[in-house]
Each structure stands twice: as structure tokens, then as C-alpha cells.
Structure 1
Amino acid sequence: FSAPPPAAADAGASLGRMTTTVAQLLRQLSFKKRRVEVRRGGDATLRDVLDVLNEQNASSLLLYYEDKTLLGLVTARDILRALGKTDAQMQEAPLAVPLEEVATPADSLVYAKATDSLARCHIIMSERRIRNLPVVHDNTIVGLITAKDLMDYSYDPQQLGGKASFIRHIAGRRGLPPNVRVAVDAEEERAEVSPDAKESMFLSFLGAPQKTQMDMVPPRIYVQAAAVMLPHPFKKADGFVGESLRDHGPDDFATDPALSDDAYFLLHKLKCPHGYGDEVTVVGIADGVGEWRLKGYDSGAFAQTFMDTSREIVEGIAANLESQRQAG
């Protein structure tokens, strides 16, 4: 396909090679090696995908049917997750599982546009914690980019490859020294609590009789806590969030907590008798999904209701334990 011009206001673009558009990157990649056709309702299995991945030296593949509609994306991580299942089918014939049961379906995939900058794609991958982005242009999937593609392209070609680069960056780092050891913090080892001690700690909080003495746990731990909640500075009253200061415009930055999609509660020095004192500090945090607002859902109300309910439950447990203590 012909590379479209860069988007006029591509949020997230930074200086350097990461301002390059996805379309320009795709010119250097072979989409043919990142897709495979499967029969609708056919007998394609994990074994078939593994063979293709090995042949193409790839870690992910887009799967599509004869009519060029997309089934989904399958990655090495999907395959490992499937092999880790314990159901009967996986135990009997782990590589015979149909691809439809393993692949991420098309309606769950996050995609990039050909006009997006590589910087924007990097942000999408980081926020969604994914490594692959199908590329869409004119309602057609024209490519697949990976996190490795972005990492490789972020360097100038002169910085990579060749004898000089090997000597400078790699030659002195091949093979760990023979006397190397894994670092384990001594304090971490001493602080390890036995399973019995962990169970006793939980029972103590609930007011139940202790089975063991937690000699390894400090008898007094004091927590000082504070919290404040602010919305995204570019958020508007209708829930829209600009991706840059230019998108936000001349308005003041948002400061009204009611615009936030998150919620929290803080109970400091709550009366709650336990094995090592009479008070506890409890903090609850709900990270709301702001994208729901664009679909008509009030994610902030959901997060706040969740936190209000959690706070009531904690206060109820504490009040019950305090009543039991006063009753003797």
C-alpha cells in the first residue's frame, strides 16, 4: 500500500526516529511472514502454528480466513498459556487444541493506524502491556508491528551491526563471569515469614485464637498515610481527555476530583483490636477505566461505589472486633 502522509497532530510523537510513521516502518517489514490463512471451522491446531512460527522465526501471527476476514492474533505467550492449562484435552493432546480456542479474537485486539507515529505505538503497547499491534489503513489490515520492531527502529542503522558495533557493545559482555552469584538481600531472607506465621497473622486480624507465636514479626508497626486525588489535567467535564496540550486548548487544567475515574478511601488509626495493638490503618484504591466514559459508562461512579462498599465492610469488621473486646 502507499504510505499515507503523517497525521497533522499525532499525540505522543517525540523527537528523533520515533516520530516516523507506522507506514514508513512497514516498508522495511515483511507482512507475508506475519500472517497465515486458516480454514473457517477447520482443523488448524497449535501444532500448525508452532510449525509456522518456527519456519518464519516469528513470535506472533495474524490468523485470517479464506475471505480475508480476521480470526485473531496468536502469540508465543498465548501458546504457553494454553499449554499451562490442566483440562483433560490439554493433558491428552496439548498440541491438538483448535486455534480458535487459543488466539486473541479480532474484537479484542488493540490496533494502530498507518498514520500513527512510532512513539504513539510505544505508548499504546506500554499502557496496554501488549507486544503486537495490527496496523489498519482504509479498513484493511496492512501489517503487524511488534515491540521489537519499535526497539530496533529507535536506533540509527549506523549504531547497529558491523564489527565495530560488536566490539564496542557485545564482545566484552558474552558469557557471565565464572564467579557470578545471584544477589539475595540478607534482610529479605531474615524477614521471610513461615506459612504458619502468615496464617497466625491473618487469624489474629480476624480476632481468632492464634495457633503460633509470630516471633519473627515486629510487635509494633506504625503507618502514617495520606492521600489526594486529582483528575487528568487535560480532562473535560464530558469525560474527553486531550492527548496533548494542543488538544486541551486554552482552558485551565482540571482539578475537580469529581472528574476523576479513580477512587480511594483512607481509614487512619481505626479502632480494631488485634494481636499487636488496638488500631489499624487501611487504604483502598480503585483504578477506574476512563475509556468507559467514551462508551457511556460512568467509570468514576463504579470505582467510588466499590470503595464506599469496601470501606463499610472494613469498618464493620473493625466494629465487630471492638465490640467483642469490650464484651470481654
Structure 2
Amino acid sequence: MKPVSELIKTRAGTLWHVRPDETVFGALRLLAEYEVGALVVMDEGRLVGVMSERDYTRKVALQGRSSKDTTVAEIMTRDVIVVTPATRTRDCMALMKEKKIRHLPVLQGNTVLGMISIRDIMDDIIADHELTISQLESYIHS
């Protein structure tokens, strides 16, 4: 399986993020606009958290709070689990399963390079299996 750097290479320069002082409503608009399930929360270029649809559901909607009156800082996940560009996709999958998370920011030192999702991992696995099947079919027919 590939290192994470291969997955984020196709999205170079694309890092969907929000500031901690933004409203949750504003963050939800970004989630919808970018069609993603989570945003990196950045403060002065530093990773300070992740805000996901799950955070919104559990910490705003189910508690009867207003997304227009609640800041991202109030609901974001602060103890962020991260990976490096060298982390293998198989290890990311195991980490996501163990920690019950769906998104992993990719950091090199203190620099956020991107974020991968379980969807990215599944797409990689499917592509890998399709390649293997194609190679096996080619071998069988030759």
C-alpha cells in the first residue's frame, strides 16, 4: 500500500480549513460547499483541531444549541490524531479503526499538508485491488 504522500499529491494546495473563532454555521457552509465531512481548524497557521459533521451532530444539534451562536472552538476535536506523509495507507486504516475516526490530518513537522479521509483510503484499496485483478487476468490469458 502507498504512503499518504501519494494520496495527498493529487490535491496539492487544497486544504479546507476554518478558524476557531468562526461560527459553526459558517463551517457547515464550507463542509457543504467542498462536499467534505471535516475541516482542519487552523489558528495563525497552526493546527488546533478538527471540526467534523460528527462534532456538529453531537455537540450542537443534539444539545439544542444554535450553529449561528456557537464557535468552532467550542465543538472542535482538540486532541487531533495525525499522520506523516510517510505513513502507509494500511496503517492509516488501522488507526482510523482503532480510534473510531474518519479523518486524519497529514503533518510534516508543524506544517499541515492536507487531510485524508476513510474515503481516500477505500479508493486506494479499490484501485490497488483492481490493478491486481487486471494483472492476474492478463497473466492468465497470456
TM-score (norm 2): 0.81
Alignment check: 8 A CA contact 1:62 1:74 kept: yes
Residue segments in structure 1 that go unaligned for 5+ positions in a row: 1-18, 160-328
Alignment of 1:1-328 (within 5 A): 19-29=1-11, 32-36=14-18, 38=19, 42=21, 44-65=22-43, 67-82=44-59, 83-86=61-64, 90=65, 93-105=66-78, 108-156=79-127, 159=130
Structure 2 vs 1, CA of residues 157 and 122 (structure 1 numbering), >3 Å: closer, same or farther? closer
Alignment check: 8 A CA contact 2:85 2:107 kept: yes
Distance 2:129 2:96 in 1: 26
Give secondary structure in 2 for the equivalent of 1:113: coil
Please state how far the C-alpha of 1:71 moved relative to its aligned partner. Answer: 2.6
Instruction: Report the identity percentage.
Output: 23
Higher helix share: 2
Alignment check: 8 A CA contact 1:134 1:141 kept: yes
1:124 maps to amino acid: L
Structure 2 vs 1, CA of residues 135 and 156 (structure 1 numbering), >3 Å: closer, same or farther? same
Give secondary structure in 2 for the equivalent of 1:152: helix
Alpha-carbon RMSD:
2.0
2:57 maps to amino acid: L
The higher relative CO (CA closer than 8 Å, separation ≥ 6) is in 2
TM-score (norm 1): 0.37
Give the aligned length.
129
Distance 2:2 2:129 in 1: 17
Please state how far the C-alpha of 1:95 moved relative to its aligned partner. Answer: 3.2
